[in-house]
């Protein structure tokens, strides 16, 4: 049987649920509402790669300006600032997204991934792109996912969810894997849970696990299963 | 390409050139460094040695490698692509003058038939191996997705015989150690020198029998094996348990 290579996610406890990490290459969707830790997860994923010598690329769309995102991210202990702009390249796609030209967006991403030869890529968040596109969002997602895999990288697309939605379905169909972060109000407190909903080629653990966001590790999965 | 990549290329060129009677070199590469090492090997062959070659793509459409060659300003006028995968990629193939398309990655025997017989049934014109200096495949292990182990082994045997027949032909074969440890074992037995491409971009000597090089080790999960021209004597060492 052809065996898939796997990339460690960098998230404490997650690789135990996914047979050792994300398939390489692959495109993963990380879905969650505001405050669940999508950007923290994405940063930890990139810094884990950069710490082990991989090249990384962080593309921001229209969510949080890069300068502010980095200011907050720098509070985490796992953030080694020597990676800023060197092993991890940051690129703002805001203007490109506003123009809404799918082919230009795809070509722009191609160029950035190829010139950095990134092995880990984050697009944060992907869901806003659909709001601005002048052409089919589904076709865009198909082309995006296909191209990203052919560049030989593991890409994490973050996705914002609407109220009542578990994950953005159009992205989930295109992605190789779907990880959901969500919050649940229990006994007057909001608890955070993570669930691997889909992961192609992987006998992954199902069910929701509680997690914490810590200054040292970023996202950390707690072992108790609910 | 970075300065340290250039120094790796020079070291590689030195190893290949230091081969009056041919040289078989294995580069152990982490799976996520393969594109980079592809570029280093192609630059060494195309620019460093002025060779003319064919790059067979079975893992991903040729346009990705072509794009990287352009981006890194590697002169690839003497490189032709034989793209076996684009018809299944869901993309619009980039049809250039130096690209030929095979029907599919299934039936690996037809690929070697084509190379042996001058490229019949290839969209975009024939491929005359006699006019080439090197053959390269982006990832032999990907063939295991579409073909049996026995078929891939048989292909490899005929492929290496083809290289020998022409005498002047180089080849670089990429295999994923984790995916096919038997092929890896078989090929490393043919290699005279082994190097490891490290995370920090260095080329260091490697003994393939040491535990660090064992199949399953992430650091050497992929290997690029370069066969410089040499007449091999003796039978091809078939991997154990490889059925037809």
Looking at residue A83, which CATH number applies to its domain?
Answer: 3.40.50.300
Residue B234, in any domain of the structure: no
Residue B240, in any domain of the structure: no
Six-digit token string for A157:
């697309």
Domains in chain B, number: 1
Residue B52, in any domain of the structure: yes
| Selection from A20, A11, A60, A55 nearest residue A201 by Cα | A20
**Between A and B, how many residue pairs show a Cβ–Cβ distance under 8 A?**
47
What CATH number has the domain bearing residue B84? 3.40.50
Question: Which of B5, B31, B32, B144 best tests the A interface by mutation, with the highest count of A CBs <10 A?
Answer: B32
| Selection from A36, A116, A50 nearest residue A78 by Cα | A50
Residue B192, in any domain of the structure: yes
- Give the Cβ contact number of residue B5 at 10 Å: 17
Record: contact B60-A3, CB cut-off 8 A: no
Adjacent-strand bridge partners of A114: none
Domains in chain A, number: 1
Residue B216's domain spans which residues?
3-227
Residue B233, in any domain of the structure: no
Record: contact A147-B145, CB cut-off 8 A: no
Are the C-beta atoms of B45 and B51 separated by less than 8 Å?
Answer: yes
Which has the higher per-residue pLDDT, A3 or B83? Answer: B83
A24 interfacial to chain B (CB closer than 8 Å): yes
- Comparing A9-18, A43-52, B110-119, which segment has the lowest mean pLDDT? B110-119
pLDDT in tens, chain B (244 residues): 667 788 888 887 887 776 555 567 778 788 888 888 899 899 988 998 899 999 999 989 999 999 999 999 999 999 999 998 887 777 777 777 788 888 788 878 888 888 888 666 677 777 888 888 889 989 888 888 888 888 888 888 888 888 888 877 888 888 887 777 777 777 777 777 778 787 777 778 877 654 454 444 555 567 777 776 654 445 555 555 544 3
Are the C-beta atoms of A219 and A205 separated by less than 8 Å?
Answer: no
Q: How far is it, in rounded angstroms, from Cα B129 to Cα B117?
A: 9
Residue B175, in any domain of the structure: yes
Q: How far is it, in rounded angstroms, from Cα A64 to Cα A37?
A: 13
pLDDT in tens, A148-173: 999 999 999 999 998 888 999 999 99
- Give the Cβ contact number of residue A35 at 10 Å: 11
Residue A64's domain spans which residues?
5-225
């Amino acid at each position: 049987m052809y065996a898939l290579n796997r990339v460690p996610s960098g998230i404490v406890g997650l690789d135990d649920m996914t047979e050792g990490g994300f398939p390489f290459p692959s495109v993963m969707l990380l879905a969650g509402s505001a405050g669940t830790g999508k950007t923290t997860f994405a940063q930890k994923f990139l810094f884990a790669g950069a710490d082990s010598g991989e090249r990384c690329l962080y593309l921001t769309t229209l969510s949080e300006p890069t300068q502010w995102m980095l200011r907050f991210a720098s509070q985490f202990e796992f953030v080694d600032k020597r990676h800023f702009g060197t092993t991890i390249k940051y690129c703002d796609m805001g203007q490109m997204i506003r123009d809404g030209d799918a082919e230009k967006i795809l070509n722009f991403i191609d160029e950035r991934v190829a010139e950095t030869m990134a092995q880990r890529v984050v697009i944060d968040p992907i869901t806003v792109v659909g709001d601005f596109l002048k052409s089919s969002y589904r076709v865009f997602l198909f082309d995006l996912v296909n191209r990203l895999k052919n560049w030989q990288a593991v890409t994490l697309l973050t996705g914002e969810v609407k109220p009542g939605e578990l994950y953005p379905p159009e992205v989930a169909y295109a992605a190789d894997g779907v990880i959901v972060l969500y919050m649940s109000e229990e006994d007057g407190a909001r608890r955070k849970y993570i669930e691997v909903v889909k992961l192609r080629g992987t006998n992954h653990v199902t069910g929701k696990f509680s997690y914490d966001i810590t200054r040292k590790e970023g996202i950390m999965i707690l072992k108790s299963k609910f | 390409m970075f300065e340290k990549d250039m120094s790796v290329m020079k070291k590689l060129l030195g190893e290949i050139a230091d081969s009056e009677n041919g040289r078989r070199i294995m580069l152990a590469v982490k799976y996520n460094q393969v594109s980079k090492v592809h570029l280093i090997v192609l630059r060494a062959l195309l620019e460093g040695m002025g060779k003319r070659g064919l790059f067979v793509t079975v893992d991903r459409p040729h346009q990705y490698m072509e794009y990287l060659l352009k981006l890194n300003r590697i002169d690839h006028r003497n490189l032709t692509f034989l793209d076996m995968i684009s018809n299944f990629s869901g993309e619009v193939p980039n049809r250039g003058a130096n690209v030929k398309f095979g029907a599919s990655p299934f039936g690996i025997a037809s690929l070697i038939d084509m190379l042996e017989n001058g490229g019949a049934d290839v969209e975009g014109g024939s491929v005359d191996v006699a006019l080439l200096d090197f053959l390269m495949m982006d990832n032999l292990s990907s063939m295991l997705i579409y073909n049996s182990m026995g078929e891939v082994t048989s292909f490899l045997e005929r492929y290496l015989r083809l290289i020998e027949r022409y005498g002047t032909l180089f080849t670089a074969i990429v295999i994923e150690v984790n995916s096919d440890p038997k092929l890896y074992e078989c090929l490393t037995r043919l290699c005279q020198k082994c190097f490891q491409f490290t995370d920090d971009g260095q080329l260091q000597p490697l003994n393939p029998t040491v535990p660090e090089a064992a199949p399953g080790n992430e650091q050497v999960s992929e290997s690029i094996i370069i066969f410089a021209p040499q007449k091999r004597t003796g039978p091809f060492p078939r991997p154990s348990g490889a059925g037809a």
